[in-house]
Chain A
């Protein structure tokens, strides 16, 4: 009698576990159909074009003649030996790092200022978000009037104080600075908004505990608040980095990639390859390479900044 009871006791948990597993599987089967519509949309507008771009990158395909020859990875080999590609990539990384870095530093400073502010935060927030609401091309036109030589707003301002303004859009070095400033003008508000929201999620009693522990305002920011919002920082940096790699519209209107190729980014080179030289295969290969580079950068940001100690 005792043996039978012991045997039952040994079997029952195993049976119970497998029944629970079956129930879980059945529940998953019921849930899958809910995912199907969005999965189909994701497939047709994301995965299919991506796969097709990769497929095209294996061909020597000219849009104007329609001639298409399978060349394997020759387009990639061509790209990696092309000095213009390396120059555009280096330039793009420089612009991305400078623009996103500037946006983060200014964004964090303003967000912290707003966080400490006790009144008028809402109105200031709205005002600061205005540049981000404007369509990029329209924003670029505004910026063109600001940075235009001789009659631009900035030049006039410099002239008022008796200074000679640099050639914002005509000098290669200043043109790069200008496109960085233009991107920062447009996207710092987004950075402010996200970081301000992030700072507000930090538990106030942690800040008070740090005050009692003897931390200064700077120490509280850098040792308590920023580590607490590391995942939010990783999110906003990744988003902006991915976006900045695709930086096209404002540059197109402001400098058109010039003077020469001084502000030509990878995206602009892709555009030129596809729609000026009609080399769709090569442009697709460049698109795939850009995607891989962005993925690599995103992984680095998530692995370093987004690593939330104690919450993994």
Chain B
């Protein structure tokens, strides 16, 4: 186990500057998820930690040792790839023991390590099978087994669940988390799926265009997003952003959203009189009420636990997730009352969170 520090990391592919001065500190034993949309540089960053991609500027250290110029095999890391990258001509046992075999470890030790990993992952019955004889989930487990047997300082996961179906993805998510709790090995996990990030991470790093937008615990990112990008990226369905103007009225500051709708400033936020702002409310933080936003229901989607209402307010789409709303129909006119204690306020120009 080891801490991983990335400082001032820059990477260019020709003219394209894909990683721009990234600093990340990952503590020993932490499960850190790098999340962001396609092309944000998260996989490149992971490959740089693995040693599969050269670093143009900056420093990466694993366990206190700068590894910039070390090849992958000298970094004491193990990586699980998106397409598993199992060796097709080797059995599960051979796949898992390959690294130890190369390191010329004694046969008995190799056998013991493979057995231990196979036990943990429930792979004992499949040890003599070839990858093509396994299901997607089993292949994924073999890929993890190959990483476990090495007993590395750091596990790297590059979108390992992308190729699995929805049900298996949820199952494997739990298994990976369970595995981490058992082994407590420092892990860096790359995904574009914010649900995966929220459910698995001790710490999430949100990336966009090669820049860290925010980093912190899942609930911190959910309840105190630093900007509109993070606010919109974390949480499903996404946060609603309603443009408005901050106005001082009767000694208090209100946000005028137009159409006669005026809402109090969210708790803990601050704005100047006349400032253009974005009022952010998560769908689950709306309630049906008497005062708030008068909207027209366009689509009703019952999900079982709650009902998602796709509404229209002053030309903007507003999504609300309301419990016990079986009677809502499309075309209905309802009033959505945001919970101002859990609402967010952002500067319309910069997209940054406005904090008191």
**B88 closest partner in A (C-beta):** A310
**B52 closest partner in A (C-beta):** A208
CB <8 Å contact, A206 and B85: yes
Q: Give A229 Cβ to nearest chain B Cβ, in Å.
A: 10
Q: Which of B72, B77, B102 contacts A219 (CB 8 A)?
A: B102
B144-172 CB mask vs A (1 if < 8 Å, else 0) is: 00100010000000000000000000000
**A206 closest partner in B (C-beta):** B85
CB <8 Å contact, B91 and A213: no
**A209 closest partner in B (C-beta):** B85
Q: Give A223 Cβ to nearest chain B Cβ, in Å.
A: 8
CB <8 Å contact, B89 and A227: yes
Is residue B41 within 8 Å, beta carbon to beta carbon, of the partner chain? Answer: no
CB <8 Å contact, A209 and B81: yes
Complex: A203 Cα to B89 Cα, angstroms: 13
A292-307 CB mask vs B (1 if < 8 Å, else 0) is: 0000000000000000
**A307 closest partner in B (C-beta):** B89
Complex: A137 Cα to B24 Cα, angstroms: 67
Is residue A228 within 8 Å, beta carbon to beta carbon, of the partner chain? Answer: yes
A224: B residues at CB distance < 8 A = 87
CB <8 Å contact, A215 and B102: yes
B81: A residues at CB distance < 8 A = 205, 208-209
Is residue A66 within 8 Å, beta carbon to beta carbon, of the partner chain? Answer: no
Interface residues in A205-241 by Cβ distance below 8 A to B read 205-206, 208-215, 219, 223-224, 227-228, 230
Is residue A17 within 8 Å, beta carbon to beta carbon, of the partner chain? Answer: no
| Size bin of chain A's contact surface | 20 to 34
CB <8 Å contact, B71 and A208: no
A211: B residues at CB distance < 8 A = 51-52, 71-73
CB <8 Å contact, A212 and B72: yes
CB <8 Å contact, A213 and B89: no
Complex: A268 Cα to B277 Cα, angstroms: 91
Is residue B50 within 8 Å, beta carbon to beta carbon, of the partner chain? Answer: yes
Interface residues in A180-208 by Cβ distance below 8 A to B read 203, 205-206, 208
Is residue B210 within 8 Å, beta carbon to beta carbon, of the partner chain? Answer: no
CB <8 Å contact, B99 and A214: yes
B50: A residues at CB distance < 8 A = 208, 212
**A224 closest partner in B (C-beta):** B87
B82: A residues at CB distance < 8 A = 205
Of B71, B87, B132, B133, most buried by chain A (CB within 10 Å of CB) is B87
Complex: A213 Cα to B146 Cα, angstroms: 9
Q: Give A243 Cβ to nearest chain B Cβ, in Å.
A: 28
A311: B residues at CB distance < 8 A = 88-89, 130, 132
Contact A214:B91 (CB < 8 A) given known A209-B79, A311-B130: no
Additional 20 contacts, C-beta under 8 A, given A205-B83, A213-B99, A309-B130: A203-B83, A205-B82, A205-B85, A206-B86, A208-B72, A208-B81, A209-B81, A211-B51, A211-B71, A211-B73, A212-B79, A213-B102, A213-B150, A227-B89, A308-B89, A310-B88, A310-B89, A310-B131, A310-B132, A311-B89
